């Protein structure tokens, strides 16, 4: 008969060694996750702002630099083992002209394409073809996260309608409602431009250093949200958006219908009960129109429009007669993509196996538009070197990062190659060297490391705003 008494588990004779093994195993697992699965990165610069923050901040009293805001992001390094990157994803990759530096940008151009930047939008066609250009459209699941807030401006009271000009018979109520008591127009008194600070959270807006560059270009891709109510209205109410050469108008009718007049000359009509408040969300971006009423999408249409210069924009509301109440309006804008800084043609060819990357903050992003390489060729070889290639980085904010870099009397040049190696040459040694400068804005597939998926830091009290959420 077997004994009922349980055998006691033998205690380890080497507890210290067991603990060491557990720690070593944990470290190996963590390193494995970092190399093969998920890694955390800190955002150092403002090239992806405000999608990803990397900026110094000013002390609110002294207006001198006092710390900064630098997002920490988690990067998925597994997905791209099983699939190729997808356009509009936020990608981490090795900078092709200094391979030990990692950059984060949005993927814009795909292999086998020719790219064209025009009037804030991006167009593409197959490489080496004479096909018509097709505008690249950001899908709504991306677009809805990257609108930049414009109106009301930071610090302004939404209910006061700052910078809006009423004419005609309209009453401004204390809660911000504009009551149209007869024929009247409410018009925004300025133009929406590519302002560097659009989209920044209120908590840091006034702590941002003055940007080195400011784009003053008018923009055409706008989103407007407002509330509309009918009190026995007997006439039409219109919301009109001038978008470059395109016009978009929403008209509410007294019979409980509405009409949307699209930039391509077509119309969309449907019913809505304006006797109760209707929240209207009207957006135009990348030649796409979206209309939502009370949070429900009722129209999503991609338009066949030609590229056009942006010569104007404007926003206005108009009532033909009494009976319409308009709630405070908010306005947002899309990313306005800028051409290269050097006045070079905004055309780019992307051969197979390569990608084209741009920052969301194109005013302050060194990306595929502007990367250029410098190559030194020596014949005969000098110091055992025949050819060196590195990035051409002159006049940046950090002079120590310039490449090539000369000493004070320009007698010795330091050249950094694409792998981070440093080489010193005298001006005499360089007399027989050939200097080749060329555009180098492409990221090879094998330099793509992963996809940014989430911001997990910083949070108060380590930052003035909460920076947590998914990256879109």
**Residue range 391-444, pLDDT digits in tens:** 998 765 556 678 999 998 999 999 999 999 999 999 999 988 999 999 999 999
- Give the model's pLDDT for residue 183: 96
Tell me what the pLDDT averaged over the chain comes to: 90
| pLDDT at residue 15 greater than cutoff 60 | no
Structure tokens given for 93: 């990759």
Q: What is the pLDDT of residues 439-466, one digit of tens each?
A: 999 999 999 999 999 999 998 888 899 9
Tell me, what's the pLDDT at 463? 87
Reported as a pLDDT band with limits 50, 70 and 90, residue 353 is very high
Q: Does position 373 have pLDDT exceeding 60, yes or no?
A: yes
Give the closest residue to 239 by CA, choosing from 229, 254, 224, 222. 224
Q: What is the mean pLDDT of residues 137-141?
A: 98
Contact (Cβ atoms closer than 8 angstroms) between residue 442 and residue 350: yes
Q: What is the pLDDT of residue 461?
A: 86
Q: What is the pTM of this model?
A: 0.89
Residue 400: the pLDDT is 66
Delineate the domains of the chain, giving CATH numbers in brackets. Answer: 8-135+340-369+443-472 (2.10.109.10), 148-333 (2.60.120.200), 372-440 (2.30.30)
Mean pLDDT calculated for residue range 235-254: 97
| Position 23 pLDDT exceeds 70 | no
From CA 109, how far away is CA 96, in angstroms rounded? 16
Q: Which residues are bridge partners to 242 per DSSP?
A: 247, 314
Res 44 pLDDT > 50: yes
What percent of the chain lies above the pLDDT cut of 70?
90
User: 27-41, 64-78, 256-270, 292-306 — which is least confidently predicted?
Assistant: 27-41
The alpha carbon of 389 is separated from its chain's Cα centroid by a whole number of angstroms, namely 30
Measured CA to CA, the distance from residue 160 to residue 425 in angstroms comes to: 64
With 80 as the cut, is the pLDDT of residue 369 above it? yes
Q: At residue 186, does pLDDT exceed 80? A: yes
pLDDT above 90 (res 156): yes
The predicted pLDDT at position 417 comes to 95
Question: Are the C-beta atoms of 368 and 358 separated by less than 8 Å?
Answer: yes
């Amino acid at each position: 008969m077997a004994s009922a008494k349980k055998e006691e588990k033998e205690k380890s004779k080497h507890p210290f060694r067991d603990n060491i093994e557990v720690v070593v195993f944990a470290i190996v697992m963590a390193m494995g996750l970092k190399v093969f699965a998920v890694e955390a990165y800190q955002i150092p610069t403002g090239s992806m702002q405000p999608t990803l923050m990397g900026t110094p901040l000013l002390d609110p009293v002294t207006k001198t630099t006092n710390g900064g805001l630098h997002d920490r992001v988690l990067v998925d390094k597994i997905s791209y083992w099983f699939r190729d990157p997808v356009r509009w994803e936020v990608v981490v990759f090795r900078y092709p002209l200094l391979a030990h530096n990692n950059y984060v940008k949005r993927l814009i151009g795909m292999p086998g394409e020719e790219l064209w930047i025009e009037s804030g939008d991006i167009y593409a066609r197959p490489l080496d073809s004479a096909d018509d250009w097709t505008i690249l459209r950001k899908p709504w699941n991306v677009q809805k996260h990257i609108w930049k807030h414009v109106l009301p401006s930071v610090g302004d009271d939404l209910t006061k309608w700052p910078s809006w000009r009423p004419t005609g018979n309209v009453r401004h109520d204390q809660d911000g409602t504009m009551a149209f008591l007869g024929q009247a127009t409410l018009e925004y008194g300025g133009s929406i431009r590519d302002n560097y600070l659009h989209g920044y959270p209120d908590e840091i807006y006034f702590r941002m250093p003055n940007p080195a560059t400011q784009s003053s270009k008018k923009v055409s891709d706008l989103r407007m949200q407002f509330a509309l109510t009918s009190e026995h209205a007997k006439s039409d109410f219109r919301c009109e958006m001038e978008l470059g050469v395109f016009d978009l108008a929403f008209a509410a009718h007294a019979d409980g219908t509405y009409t949307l007049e699209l930039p391509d000359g077509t119309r969309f009509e449907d019913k809505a009960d304006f006797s109760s408040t209707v929240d209207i969300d009207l957006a135009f971006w990348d030649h796409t129109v979206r209309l939502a009423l009370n949070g429900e999408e009722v129209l999503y249409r991609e338009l066949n429009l030609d590229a056009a210069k942006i010569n104007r924009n404007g926003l206005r509301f108009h009532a033909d007669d009494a009976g319409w109440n308009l709630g405070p309006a908010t306005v947002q804008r899309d990313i306005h993509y800028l051409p290269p800084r050097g006045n070079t043609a905004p055309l780019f060819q992307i051969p197979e196996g390569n990608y084209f990357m741009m920052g969301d903050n194109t005013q302050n992003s060194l990306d595929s538009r502007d990367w250029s390489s410098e190559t030194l060729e020596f014949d005969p070889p000098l110091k055992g070197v025949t050819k060196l290639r590195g990035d051409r980085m002159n006049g940046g904010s950090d002079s120590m990062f310039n490449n090539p870099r000369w000493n004070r009397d320009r007698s010795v040049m330091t050249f950094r190659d694409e792998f981070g190696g440093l080489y010193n040459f005298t001006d005499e040694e360089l007399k027989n060297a050939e200097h080749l400068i060329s555009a180098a804005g492409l990221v090879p597939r094998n330099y793509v490391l992963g996809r940014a998926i989430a911001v997990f830091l910083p949070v108060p009290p380590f930052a003035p705003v909460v920076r947590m959420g998914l990256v879109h």
